[in-house]
Amino acid sequence: MSTEIWLTLVSIAVGTYLIRVVPYVWMQRKQARSHNEGMMADTPDWLTVMGPAMIAAMFGTSLVPAHPTPLAWIASAVGIIATLLVWRKTRSMGVPTFVGVLVFGLVEVVFR
């Protein structure tokens, strides 16, 4: 791969990490400071709105296939259904996501 691609991938990885870690570290420090002063810090309103909004945006973009072929749309639909079914049973985040991605990949590979 070319240097430009590696630089792009590294910048995306660093940006993604910072998007996740900066609010977390900021809230940890704020809560520790408030705890030392004898009071409990509330989560700021912007953080309670921003977190679900970012998750919804990532969810929306991840549903659209990179190559919008009929097979890709079918694989996406089957993956979403598998994710929802596993989520209803487990009520967790990791296992349903893993199963959804696995089912999507299997549909793409088996029916290609």
pLDDT given for residue 32 in this prediction: 80
Q: Which domain holds residue 6?
A: 1-61
Q: Is the dihedral of CA 89, 92, 93, 95 positive or negative?
A: negative
Pair 53, 78 in one domain: no
Final residue in a domain of this structure, among 61, 78, 101: 61
Pair 54, 81 in one domain: no
pTM, rounded to two decimals:
0.55
Pair 75, 103 in one domain: yes
Cβ pair 72, 66 in contact under 8 A = yes
Pair 51, 104 in one domain: no
Angle between helix 45-63 and 3-36 (nearest 10):
150
Pair 81, 44 in one domain: no
Pair 6, 51 in one domain: yes
Per-residue model confidence as pLDDT tens digits over 56-108: 777 777 778 888 899 999 999 999 999 999 999 998 888 888 899 899 999 99
Pair 44, 88 in one domain: no
Q: What percent of the chain has pLDDT over 90?
A: 35
pLDDT given for residue 106 in this prediction: 95
pLDDT given for residue 79 in this prediction: 93
Q: Is the dihedral of CA 107, 108, 109, 112 positive or negative?
A: positive
Pair 19, 49 in one domain: yes
Pair 37, 48 in one domain: yes
Pair 1, 56 in one domain: yes
